[in-house]
Chains A and B, each alone.
Chain A
C-alpha cells in the first residue's frame, strides 16, 4: 500500500464549503478513498478498509465507491507522479477486489455465481473501470502537458476499456440472455443501450462538467469586465482630473466628493430613482456637482417614487439650485420625511435671505417652478426667508397610497 504523508488539504473552497475531491496522488483506483480520507481528516487505509468491509454487505461498498467516483471531481492540483510497476500491481489488486465486490453485489441481487453471466459482467465492469479511469486522465491532459507516449497509452486504454464492455455485452447477448422469449428483443436492446451508455458515460459527464465550469468562468469574466469598465470610466477619470487641478483645492475636493458619492452609490444603492431616498440623494448630488456647494441630505422613512413624488423631487431640485445660487458657501440641508399620509421636504440654506414681498412678481423662480409645480400636482409649498438668517422652502405632498404609477 502506498502510504504517503497526506499533503495539506486543498484550499479550494466553493461557497464556503470545502468540496470533496478525488486525489490523484497515491490513489489505487480512482482516488475516492484517498480523497475521502483527506476530506474527513482520517487515514486513507481506514477508508479503504471500510469500503472493503461494506462491500461484503451486499456490495454496498462497491456501490458507494462507484457513486463517489461519478460525482466527486478529480483534484487537478495533486502531485502527478509517474506510474511505476509496483503501483500497477497494486492497482490490479484494487481492481481485483472491486471485481470480487461486484460479484458479491450480483449475488446479493439474486443473480448468483452463474459463470456464463458473471464473466461477461466482470468484463463489462473491468471495461468500465478502465474507461472511466482513463476519462479522468483525459481531463488531466487538457490541463497539463503530457508526453506523446502517455497520450498513446491513454488512447489504447480507452480503446481497451470500450472493447471489454462491448465484449461483455456481446457475451451476455449470445450466452445466458434468453433472446427467444417475449422479452428477448427488449433485453437485447437494454443490454446494447447500457453498453453504449457505459462507454459514452465519461464523455457525457465531462461535457456537462465542462459546460458548467465554462459558464461560471464566463459569468465571472463579465462581472470583472463590468467592474473594470466602471472603475475606468469613473475613478481613473476623476484621478486624472484631480492631478490636473492640484493647485485648486476647491475643485479637488469637489471632484473627490462627487466621485466618492458616485462610487458608494454604484456599490450599494439601487440604480434607478426607485425610492424617495434615492431620488433626494440623486438630486442633491446633481446640484452639488453643478454648483460646487455642499448639501446634507437627511431622509426619514422611505417609499416608492410615484408621479406626485417625482414632482416633489423636481421641486426640490429647483429649490436647491436656487439655494446654491444665492446661499454662497454656506451649507444647505435637505430634510425629507415620509409619513404614512404625506411626504414633507425642507430645503434650508444659510444664505443672506431675502424679503419675499420685495421680489417682483415676475422674477421669482421659486414661485413658478416650486410653488406652482407643487400646486399643480396637488401639494403645497411654503417659502420662509428672513434677511440674514437664510431661507427655508417647505414642500408637502399628500401620498396616494393606492396608485403608484
Chain B
C-alpha cells in the first residue's frame, strides 16, 4: 500500500475544515472524495474505496460511529482515522471501539496529520497524547479482578511505558530511542494496545468512559 500516494476520503460536516485539511495535506496524499454527513460518507467511501478515511467523530446522521458500523465489516481494506475537536473520552473510546485505527485532535499540524495518515494506511495505529492518556487511565494498573480474558484486559509493562511516553508528547521515533527499541517495535506495541482497546469487554472501560462523560 506504500506505492504511490495514499488515497484519502475526508468526512467532516464543516466545509471550512475540509478545505483547510485539503490545503494542509496538500500533495502528501490524494484526496479522492469528501462527505459531510454519515449517509453520504458511506456511499462515497463504498464507491471510491480509499486507503484511509479521515472521519469526524461528530457528524449529522449518527456520527462517525454510524459510518464505522456500516463499513468496517464490509470494507476491511479501508482504514479509519478519527479526527475531532471533541475531547470527551466517551466519544474517543467509542470510535476506537467502533473500528477506527487511531485518533487525533483537529489541532494537529499538517505534517503530523500527513504522517498519521501514512501510518494508518500502513496498518498501524495512531495515538495522540490524549488518547494515550485515556487508555492509561482506563486500564489503570490498580484493578486486579479475575476477568474473562486476562491478556486482553491488561496492558503489559512495555505497552504502558510506550503509552506513557506518547502521552508525554514523544513521537514514535523518540519513544523508540528512549526505550532502546526500533520504531517498528513501538508500532507493534501501539497496535497491540489498540487491539486490546477494541476487543476487551472489560466493564471498567465502559464505566470509566461514562464516569468521565462530562469533560
Do A and B assemble together? yes
**B107, A294: Cβ atoms closer than 8 Å:** yes
Enumerate 21 A-B pairs (CB-CB under 8 Å) in ascending A order: A268-B215, A296-B129, A296-B130, A296-B169, A298-B133, A298-B167, A299-B133, A300-B137, A300-B140, A301-B137, A331-B109, A333-B168, A333-B169, A335-B129, A335-B168, A337-B136, A346-B168, A346-B169, A348-B169, A348-B170, A350-B169
Interface hits, B85-110 → A, CB 8 Å: 105, 107, 109
Q: Shortest Cβ distance from B39 into chain A, in angstroms?
A: 29
Which of chain A's residues have a CB closer than 8 A to the CB of B109? 331
Extra contacts, 10 of them, besides A296-B107, A333-B168 (Cβ < 8 A), are A269-B214, A294-B107, A296-B105, A296-B130, A296-B169, A298-B133, A335-B167, A335-B168, A346-B169, A348-B168
Decide yes or no whether B205 CB sits under 8 A from chain A: no
**Which residue among B132, B137, B174 has the maximum number of chain A CB atoms within 10 Å of its CB?**
B137
Question: Cα distance A389–B171 when bound, in Å?
Answer: 11
Known contacts A300-B136, A335-B129: does B168 contact A268 (CB below 8 Å)? no
Decide yes or no whether B164 CB sits under 8 A from chain A: yes
| A contact face: mostly helix, strand, loop, or mixed | strand
Partner of B129, one of A298, A340, A350: A298
Known contacts A298-B132, A335-B129: does B214 contact A268 (CB below 8 Å)? yes
**A298, B130: Cβ atoms closer than 8 Å:** yes
Decide yes or no whether B27 CB sits under 8 A from chain A: no
Known contacts A268-B215, A294-B107, A340-B142: does B168 contact A392 (CB below 8 Å)? yes
Chain A residue at minimal CB-CB distance from B88: A268
Per CB-CB distance, the 3 closest pairs between chain A and chain B, nearest first, are: A333-B169, A298-B133, A335-B168
Interface hits, B123-158 → A, CB 8 Å: 129-130, 132-133, 136-137, 140, 142
The range of chain B's interface size is: 10 to 19
Question: Cα distance A354–B105 when bound, in Å?
Answer: 29
Interface hits, B152-180 → A, CB 8 Å: 164, 167-170, 174
Q: Which positions in B face A, CB cutoff 8 Å?
A: 105, 107, 109, 129-130, 132-133, 136-137, 140, 142, 164, 167-170, 174, 214-215
Which of chain A's residues have a CB closer than 8 A to the CB of B214? 268-269
Q: Shortest Cβ distance from B85 into chain A, in angstroms?
A: 9
Q: Shortest Cβ distance from B114 into chain A, in angstroms?
A: 16
Task: Count residues on chain A whose CB falls below 8 Å from chain B CBs.
Answer: 19
Question: Cα distance A238–B24 when bound, in Å?
Answer: 28
Question: Cα distance A333–B168 when bound, in Å?
Answer: 6
Question: Cα distance A273–B164 when bound, in Å?
Answer: 25
Q: Shortest Cβ distance from A390 into chain B, in angstroms?
A: 9
Question: Cα distance A294–B133 when bound, in Å?
Answer: 18
Question: Cα distance A296–B134 when bound, in Å?
Answer: 13
Question: Cα distance A298–B170 when bound, in Å?
Answer: 13
Which of chain A's residues have a CB closer than 8 A to the CB of B164? 335, 337
Question: Cα distance A268–B136 when bound, in Å?
Answer: 23
Q: Shortest Cβ distance from B165 into chain A, in angstroms?
A: 9
**A333, B129: Cβ atoms closer than 8 Å:** yes
Q: Shortest Cβ distance from A278 into chain B, in angstroms?
A: 11
Chain A residue at minimal CB-CB distance from B135: A300
Interface hits, A327-348 → B, CB 8 Å: 331-333, 335, 337, 340, 346, 348
Chain B residue at minimal CB-CB distance from A344: B164
Which of chain A's residues have a CB closer than 8 A to the CB of B132? 298
Which of chain B's residues have a CB closer than 8 A to the CB of A300? 133, 136-137, 140, 167
Which of chain A's residues have a CB closer than 8 A to the CB of B137? 300-301
Chain B residue at minimal CB-CB distance from A390: B169
Which of chain A's residues have a CB closer than 8 A to the CB of B167? 298, 300, 335
Which of chain A's residues have a CB closer than 8 A to the CB of B170? 348
Q: Shortest Cβ distance from A343 into chain B, in angstroms?
A: 14
